[in-house]
Amino acid sequence: MNPKIARHVYGWLLFSPAAIFFILFTHYPIVRSCVLSFFSNPRGSKPPRFVGLSNYDYLIHDPIFWQALKNNLIYAFGTIPITISLAIVMAVWVNRRMPGRAFVRAAYFTPTILPMIAIANIWLFFYTPGVGLFDSILNALGYPGRNWLGNPDTALLCLMVIAIWKDAGFFMIFYLAALQGIPQDVVEAGKIEGAGRWYFFRRVTFPLLMPTTVFVVFNALINTFRIVDHIFILTKGGPDNATQLLLYYLFQNAFEFWDTAYAATLTVVIMVILMTLALTQFKVLERRTHYQ
């Protein structure tokens, strides 16, 4: 065989295992979802028919979609800044020489290795009205308890607390790695120049952590659209859609209401949001490469 062709065949053979899985489980479903979103939902013997943009028209006028999107944004912007601040503080804290450092690091990281379902069950006990951890503490202090997850005013907040608790340790690991990438002599140069701890953090450490922060912010954003496991355990989107997030709403439409056409439409919308985020991240990270 022509050696040039042989090389091409060789290359494609190496590429094909990954490619097959990607096409089968990622690309084909994306295309299929897009197609489905332009068709009506099949019911019994009625086959789907082409309906153009009517699914999207329905989506724009669907108040629950907007509620879910709004919840998603509150969830994202309420959790991410706090999660990241905590992650940085914890990373700076465990980056120092101190007794039991390995233990503290492991402790912060534990929530990350637990499945979200398990975490949700743990927190379910914390939030249980009357006998849960929070109510027990409140009662002991003489305050009345409340139905944390059953109240539309507090339910979403409760989910956000869990997200912060789970993710801060995970992001801490990224910051810890970045902190250890800061050369020791740069830190020492700061000491010689007389920079105090806070001044040095503000003018040197934090800017040097910027690439990590960009990475973490976008991953956290994407995660808020992707991870809804705890909603299954804790609220199922309620009460009154107070904890309805886009992905959970998509699940409900697909597998509770069996409205596959509308679920496909929601899939396309979520995908557009995620792809926009990912592309923006690449752009921003590219501009920041000179830091390294």
Partner 1 sequence: MQIEIRDVRKDYGRVQAVRGVSFSVEEGQLLVILGPSGCGKTTLLRLIAGLEPVTSGTIHIAGTDVTHLPPVKRNISMVFQSYALFPHLNVRENIIFGLKVRKVPADEIERRLKRVVDLLGLSGRLDSKPGELSGGMQQRVALGRAIIAEKPVTLMDEPLSNLDAKLRNSMRREICSLQRRLGITMIYVTHDQVEAMTMADRIVLMRDGQIVQDDSPENFYERPANTFVARFIGTPPMNIVPLCPTQGGAALEPGGRLLFPGMDPDRYLFGIRPENLRLAESGQPAMVTGREYLGSDTFVSCEIHGQEVIVRTRGRRNIREGTVVHLTWDPGDVNLFDARTQERVDSVVPARKEGRENPAGSIGG
Nearer to partner 1, 49 or 97 (CB): 97
Give the shortest CB-194-to-partner 1 separation in angstroms: 3
Residue 86's contacts (CB-CB under 8 Å, 6 or more residues apart) are 164, 168, 172
Taking the C-alpha atoms of residue 204 and residue 185, their distance in angstroms, rounded to an integer, is 13
* Stretch near partner 1 under the rule CB under 8 A, chosen from 25-33, 40-48, 102-110, 188-196: 188-196
204 in contact with partner 1 (CB under 8 A): yes
181 in contact with partner 1 (CB under 8 A): no
192 in contact with partner 1 (CB under 8 A): yes
Taking the C-alpha atoms of residue 15 and residue 6, their distance in angstroms, rounded to an integer, is 14
Nearer to partner 1, 81 or 196 (CB): 196
Burial class (CB in 10 A: 0-12, 13-18, 19+), 1: exposed
197 in contact with partner 1 (CB under 8 A): no
Two tokens at 142? 């003489």
233 in contact with partner 1 (CB under 8 A): no
189 in contact with partner 1 (CB under 8 A): yes
N-to-C CA span, the chain: 46
Buried-exposed string 64-80: b where 16+ CB fall within 10 A, e elsewhere: ebebbbebbeebbebbb
For 36, other C-beta atoms within 10 Å of its C-beta total: 22
* Stretch near partner 1 under the rule CB under 8 A, chosen from 24-32, 184-192, 237-245, 253-261: 184-192
Taking the C-alpha atoms of residue 260 and residue 253, their distance in angstroms, rounded to an integer, is 7
Q: Angle of helix 210-226 relative to helix 155-181, nearest 10 degrees? A: 150
Closest of 147, 124, 123 to residue 135, by C-alpha = 147
Taking the C-alpha atoms of residue 40 and residue 208, their distance in angstroms, rounded to an integer, is 52
* Stretch near partner 1 under the rule CB under 8 A, chosen from 8-16, 164-172, 191-199, 262-270: 191-199
177 in contact with partner 1 (CB under 8 A): no
Select the residue interacting with partner 1 from 186, 272, 275, 279 (CB under 8 A).
Answer: 186
124 in contact with partner 1 (CB under 8 A): no
Residue that is written with structure tokens 């920079």 in the block = 195
10 in contact with partner 1 (CB under 8 A): no
Residues numbered 263-292 forming contacts with partner 1, rule: CB under 8 A: 290-291
Residues numbered 23-52 forming contacts with partner 1, rule: CB under 8 A: none
Give the shortest CB-211-to-partner 1 separation in angstroms: 10
Rounded (10°) CA dihedral 204, 187, 189, 215: -30
208 in contact with partner 1 (CB under 8 A): yes
Q: Are 236 and 159 in contact (CB under 8 A)?
A: no
Rounded (10°) CA dihedral 243, 244, 246, 247: 80
- The site for partner 1, by CB under 8 A, has a size of 20
Give the shortest CB-186-to-partner 1 separation in angstroms: 5
* Stretch near partner 1 under the rule CB under 8 A, chosen from 52-60, 69-77, 207-215, 247-255: 207-215
185 in contact with partner 1 (CB under 8 A): yes
Select the residue interacting with partner 1 from 21, 22, 77, 199 (CB under 8 A).
Answer: 199
Which residues of the chain form contacts with partner 1 (CB under 8 A)? 183, 185-186, 188-196, 199, 203-204, 207-208, 210, 290-291
